[in-house]
């Protein structure tokens, strides 16, 4: 959301409660309803004007991508999908893009809404955004969350009865090859660098740096091995390893396949891969899923392991990624992995967006502030092209 829209939203948020979806308010001629496929061209334009540079033309593929992400999930229904606000001229001036994900909450299935973009345009859009925000107050929701909220949006989540999770609001970044990692960052900020032949120079510098400062290399775990596995194998292992959490994604076969297919559309990050980690006795103790292009950055979506194996598994993940030649790696911080991750050298934590949630269920809320909550990675918007592309 633009700064002007955020400021106006802050002023509007104390208005009277929103009426039911699809109805009109006594105080406004605007209306809130579920997003429809026919709205997608207008939503694509609004997204571009809100989040991208001024006067940038809407990408011709954006509307189709929005349809894939927000209408094709096997869990989709209007009740757990995106919302739009129409002003008095029936123009969409604000919207919340949301996709459903199935979670297990203390043994019962709950369909969560993952909020992926909150956008508004103009004064009527700010008023509409305030109404949309009130639709998502904790008292009305089974489970809503986002891992990329702005400071103003995070304040509104809290005002609506929600929580901000401080650890999950951080990303860890581990550098293996500093020159290549610096070049990767420069390419993201200045696309022209991608066309210049600096890769060979970066490799030469990194060989020198890693010889003189050996701590850039991640140390493999003695007696521990890892190997590439199929996505189906990862799904099965993840399902078992997530049972330690009272709140966790279900990763049913239809939903998992859909998430993987959607994540693979983000080709700018590289190829989606997964590996298992085996201890000295040959027992699988962990697994992880990541996206990466050879010699570039690896985006680690999910690391899972059995209890008391965190340090071994995390160390082996970094040793793997270093050994595979990646310049750097990044991933969402998770409370159960924090101590293991902090053992790494040349690692920093960065804040890029707040992880916020709302729920009317007390047991889910209690789990989220303790050790019983797991979300993020594939079970979030980390893989979305809306975050990295368009």
Place of tokens 């579920």: 34
Question: Are both 264 and 138 inside the same structural domain?
Answer: no
User: Residues 43, 83: contact at Cβ < 8 Å?
Assistant: no
User: Residues 94, 8: contact at Cβ < 8 Å?
Assistant: no
Q: Is the pLDDT of residue 18 over 80?
A: no
Residue 191 falls within a domain, yes or no?
no
User: Residues 54, 6: contact at Cβ < 8 Å?
Assistant: no
Classify the C-alpha dihedral 301-306-308-312 as positive or negative. Answer: negative
Question: Are both 154 and 7 inside the same structural domain?
Answer: yes
Exposed, middle or buried by CB within 10 Å (0-12, 13-18, 19+), for 309?
A: buried
Residue 382 falls within a domain, yes or no?
no
Question: Are both 243 and 333 inside the same structural domain?
Answer: yes
Residue 378 falls within a domain, yes or no?
no
* CA dihedral angle for residue 363, residue 364, residue 370, residue 371, rounded to 10 degrees: 110
The rounded distance, in Å, linking the Cα atoms of 194 and 317 is 28
The pLDDT score that the predictor gives to residue 28 is 47
The pLDDT score that the predictor gives to residue 189 is 78
* CA dihedral angle for residue 16, residue 354, residue 40, residue 188, rounded to 10 degrees: 150
Question: Are both 224 and 339 inside the same structural domain?
Answer: yes
Question: Are both 155 and 221 inside the same structural domain?
Answer: no
Residue 381 falls within a domain, yes or no?
no
Residue 200 falls within a domain, yes or no?
no
- Write out the residue range of the structural domain in which residue 20 sits: 3-165
The pLDDT score that the predictor gives to residue 152 is 84
Q: Any residues with CB less than 8 A from the CB of 203 and at least 6 apart, and which?
A: 177, 179, 180
User: Residues 30, 24: contact at Cβ < 8 Å?
Assistant: yes
Q: What SS3 class is residue 187?
A: helix
Residue pLDDT, tens place only, 203-253: 999 999 999 999 999 998 899 999 999 999 999 999 999 999 999 999 999
Question: Are both 140 and 29 inside the same structural domain?
Answer: yes
Q: Give, in order, the Cα–Cα distances in Å from 114 to each of 145, 294, 342.
A: 5, 30, 28
Question: Are both 270 and 344 inside the same structural domain?
Answer: yes
Q: Of the residues 137, 165, 193, which one is the last residue of a structural domain? A: 165
Question: Are both 142 and 15 inside the same structural domain?
Answer: yes
Cα–Cα nearest to 12, from 117, 124, 160: 124
Q: What pTM was computed for the model?
A: 0.90
Could you give the percent of the chain with pLDDT greater than 70? 91
User: Residues 260, 317: contact at Cβ < 8 Å?
Assistant: no
Q: Give, in order, the Cα–Cα distances in Å from 305 to each of 19, 238, 263.
A: 45, 8, 22
The pLDDT score that the predictor gives to residue 160 is 86
The pLDDT score that the predictor gives to residue 29 is 56
Residue pLDDT, tens place only, 260-283: 999 999 998 999 999 999 999 999
The pLDDT score that the predictor gives to residue 194 is 67
Task: Tell me what the mean pLDDT of segment 33-59 comes to.
Answer: 91
Question: Are both 121 and 247 inside the same structural domain?
Answer: no
Question: Are both 111 and 231 inside the same structural domain?
Answer: no
The pLDDT score that the predictor gives to residue 19 is 37
- The chain-wide mean pLDDT, for the chain, equals 90
| Better pLDDT: 195 or 243 | 243
**What is the number of structural domains in the chain?**
2
Task: Retrieve residue 192's tokens.
Answer: 């022209």
Residue pLDDT, tens place only, 67-124: 999 999 999 999 999 999 999 899 999 999 999 999 999 999 999 999 999 999 988 7
Question: Are both 20 and 124 inside the same structural domain?
Answer: yes
Other C-beta atoms closer than 10 Å to the C-beta of 153 total 20
User: Residues 325, 162: contact at Cβ < 8 Å?
Assistant: no
CA angle at 54 for the pair 63 and 194, rounded to the nearest 5°: 80
The pLDDT score that the predictor gives to residue 17 is 40
Q: What residues does 108 pair with on adjacent strands?
A: 105
CATH number of the domain encompassing residue 293: 3.40.630.30
Residue 346 falls within a domain, yes or no?
yes
Q: Of the residues 128, 146, 165, which one is the last residue of a structural domain? A: 165
Q: Is the pLDDT of residue 20 over 70?
A: no
The rounded distance, in Å, linking the Cα atoms of 353 and 386 is 14
Question: Are both 279 and 340 inside the same structural domain?
Answer: yes
Q: Is the pLDDT of residue 7 over 60?
A: no
């Amino acid at each position: 959301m633009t700064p002007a829209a955020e400021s106006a939203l802050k002023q509007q948020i104390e208005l009277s409660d929103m009426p039911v979806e699809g109805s009109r308010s006594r105080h406004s001629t605007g209306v809130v309803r579920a997003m429809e496929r026919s709205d997608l061209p207008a939503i694509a334009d609004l997204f571009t004007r809100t989040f991208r540079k001024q006067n940038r033309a809407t990408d011709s593929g954006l509307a189709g991508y929005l349809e894939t992400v927000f209408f094709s999930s096997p869990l989709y229904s209007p009740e757990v999908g995106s919302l739009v606000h129409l002003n008095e001229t029936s123009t969409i001036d604000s919207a919340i893009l949301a996709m459903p994900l199935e979670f297990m909450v203390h043994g019962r299935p709950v369909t969560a809404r993952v909020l992926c973009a909150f956008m508004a345009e103009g004064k009527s859009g700010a008023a509409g955004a305030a109404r949309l925000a009130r639709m998502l107050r904790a008292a009305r929701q089974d489970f809503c969350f986002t891992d990329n909220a702005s400071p103003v949006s995070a304040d509104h989540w809290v005002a609506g009865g929600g929580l901000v999770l401080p650890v999950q609001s951080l990303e860890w970044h581990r550098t293996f090859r500093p020159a290549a990692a610096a070049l990767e960052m420069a390419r993201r900020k200045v696309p022209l660098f991608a066309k210049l032949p600096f890769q060979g120079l970066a490799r030469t510098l990194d060989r020198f740096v890693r010889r003189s400062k050996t701590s850039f290399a991640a140390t493999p775990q003695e007696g521990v091995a890892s190997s590439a596995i199929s996505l189906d194998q990862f799904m099965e292992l993840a399902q078992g390893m997530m049972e330690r959490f009272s709140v966790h994604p279900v990763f049913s076969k239809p939903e998992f396949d859909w998430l993987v297919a959607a994540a693979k559309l983000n080709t700018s990050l590289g190829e989606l891969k997964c590996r298992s980690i085996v201890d000295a006795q040959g027992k699988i103790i962990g697994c992880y899923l990541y996206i990466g292009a050879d010699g570039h950055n690896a985006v680690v979506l999910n690391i899972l392991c059995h209890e008391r194996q965190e340090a071994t598994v995390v160390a082996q993940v970094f040793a793997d990624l270093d050994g595979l030649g990646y310049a750097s790696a990044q991933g969402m911080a998770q409370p159960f992995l924090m101590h293991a991750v902090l053992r790494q050298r040349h690692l920093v934590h960065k804040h890029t967006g707040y992880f916020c949630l709302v729920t009317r269920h007390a047991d889910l809320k209690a789990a989220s502030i303790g050790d019983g909550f797991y979300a993020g990675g594939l079970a979030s918007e980390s893989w979305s092209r809306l975050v990295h592309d368009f």
